[in-house]
Homo-oligomer: A and B are copies of this chain.
Amino acid sequence: MYANDGFRELQRPECLHLLASAPVGRIVHTRHALPAVLPVNFSLDGDGAVVLRTSASSELVRAIDGAVVAFEADEMDAATRAGWSVVVTGAASVVTDAAEHERLTRSGPRSWVPAPREVFVRIEPELVTGRELVGGTLRPAAARWP
């Protein structure tokens, strides 16, 4: 979160609520020592962890397994200059536990491009931040949020 830039900071429960409504997010990591970003579909696990499903042999898995990554989702409307953005930052790891893999096969995200052998990747919600902009000005403190 950048201070004093005209956005309202969102609290963790608001962030996770908004994140749950987003069909697609973007995984931000390092690839060949350069910043890299890739849109993916995902699901939120009960504890707020972001779960991705991808080919076991994908370069993405090799790039992020064991690394700290950021996962971002947003909804921005250029016409009204309003929207929100949420970022989850934490360690990414391939789910290796068989029972957990089985559980995610039932309840986790579906692949957009199914592969022969797929794995789930969990991103721990160590840091959850978000910001909201309403109409190009600060949203009043009186919020719609319970």
Residues of A within 8 A of B (CB): 2-7, 23-24, 26, 28-30, 34-39, 41, 54-55, 57-60, 68-70, 72, 74, 76, 78, 81, 83, 85, 87, 89, 112-113, 115, 127, 133, 136-137
Distance (whole angstroms) from the CB of A25 to the closest CB of chain B: 10
Q: Give the CA-CA distance A18 to B113 in the complex, in Å.
A: 22
Q: How many copies does the complex hold?
A: 2
Distance (whole angstroms) from the CB of A132 to the closest CB of chain B: 11
7 smallest A-B Cβ distances: which pairs?
A: A6-B113, A23-B78, A35-B70, A37-B72, A2-B59, A24-B76, A28-B35
Cβ-defined partner of A35 (8 Å) among B30, B83, B113: B30
In chain B, what residue has the closest Cβ to A137?
B113
Q: Give the CA-CA distance A13 to B69 in the complex, in Å.
A: 30
Distance (whole angstroms) from the CB of A69 to the closest CB of chain B: 6
| Interchain residue pairs with CB less than 8 A apart (10) | A2-B60, A5-B113, A23-B76, A24-B74, A24-B78, A24-B83, A28-B28, A34-B89, A37-B87, A38-B85
Cβ-defined partner of A133 (8 Å) among B23, B34, B113: B113
**Contact status A112-B87, CB under 8 Å:** no
**Complex interface: chain B residues within 8 A of A37 (CB):** 26, 28, 37, 70, 72, 87
**Contact status B26-A26, CB under 8 Å:** yes
In chain B, what residue has the closest Cβ to A29?
B35
